[in-house]
Structure 1
Amino acid sequence: MTAVLDDTVEGINNPWSSDFVPEHLRGDRTPEVVELPTINTPVPLKGNGLSAIRDWVVAVERHFGAGQRATVQYASFLGYFVNLYTFRVERSDRALARELGAHRDRFNGCASRLAEAGFLVKIPKKPGEKGVGYVLSMPSEIAL
């Protein structure tokens, strides 16, 4: 009887062999942790009013690029109708379209795309505060 020297038939590389060792357990028995896990979370915008809004619009444009021009345009229009102190959006989508003279469905889905990407966060209004429930925010990674 001859011994089999090919590892693919019998030995550590054959998953049906009794000597099989998974790839990640060969050599060092403990896998390395390359980096800590992170989560993306929106952080409400703070800072100087106009320059913070300008930086927010630039960040939205870099994130969405040329493929989502309607969302970038919507974000730039939102910048005009935001409270400079609290960064709360003061116009709804329909009111914004009415003031711009556009069709009422022009901005459908743009706010949800911004919220999913972390550029809008829903924060409850304080008593007497005007506007809708959304505040401008920047997405950031937080290590766990």
Structure 2
Amino acid sequence: MTLSFDGTVIVPVASPDDGERTATALAEYLTPTSSVIAVNVIEKGGGVPDKAPMEQREEYAEEIFEGVRRALESTDATVETDVLYGTDVVERIFAESEARNADSVVFTPREGNRLAELLTGDVARRLIKEASVPVVALPSDDS
């Protein structure tokens, strides 16, 4: 059985490298009926000061999306990008997947220090454990 994404997929991306790596890994599984929605969640402080100025974070998101578009330009899939805002990254990703009636959330795990994962809540682990739609972790060429 060959894996393909024929419907709508939410693709959370966190950095330019992550965006390009994830889109490159995803490209071979897309069909002409695929709709990719690349999202970058800007985490709001929830009553505490934000980590960086909003304009700077939105510019960084656009840099991320440029790599996604570049990696997917050879596919026939529809590609959208969206900056999301929320106090909980995982909850916001799943809220968007519901709002967009997505068939799945697709990502490539990022390398991380185990201590950093413990301190930050390990978004990849939470995506899988708290899934409200199918979640697919794709292998990347870096693996």
More strand by share: 2
Please report the TM-score for the alignment, with normalisation by the length of structure 1. 0.31
Bigger Rg, which one: 1
TM-score (norm 2): 0.31
